[in-house]
Structure formats: structure tokens, C-alpha cells
């Protein structure tokens, strides 16, 4: 379940900008994305 969540978050990071709402999620899957 956690792995699927991480994959989903990774896709969110790919398709969406790292806004404040997704900042923590984006950092957890891609620390170097601004």
C-alpha cells in the first residue's frame, strides 16, 4: 500500500507543480524538484 502511494505521489510530482499543498509529497518522492 505504501509503495503504491509513493508511485502515485511520484506521478503527481511529474504532472503537477509542487504547490504548498503537495510540497511535502513532492519532496518525499523527488527532493530535487522545485
Q: Determine the pLDDT at residue 15.
A: 58
Q: Determine the pLDDT at residue 3.
A: 65
Segment 1-34, tens digit of pLDDT: 666 766 666 676 665 556 666 666 666 655 555 4
Phi, psi of 28 (to 5 degrees): -70, -30
Q: Determine the pLDDT at residue 17.
A: 59
Nearest CA among 20, 28, 34, 2 for reference residue 10: 28
Q: Determine the pLDDT at residue 34.
A: 45
Q: Determine the pLDDT at residue 14.
A: 62
Q: How far apart are CA 33 and CA 13, in angstroms?
A: 8
Amino acid at each position: 500500500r505504501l509503495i503504491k502511494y509513493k508511485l502515485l505521489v511520484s506521478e503527481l510530482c511529474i504532472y503537477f507543480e509542487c504547490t504548498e499543498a503537495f510540497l511535502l509529497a513532492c519532496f518525499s518522492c523527488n527532493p530535487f524538484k522545485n
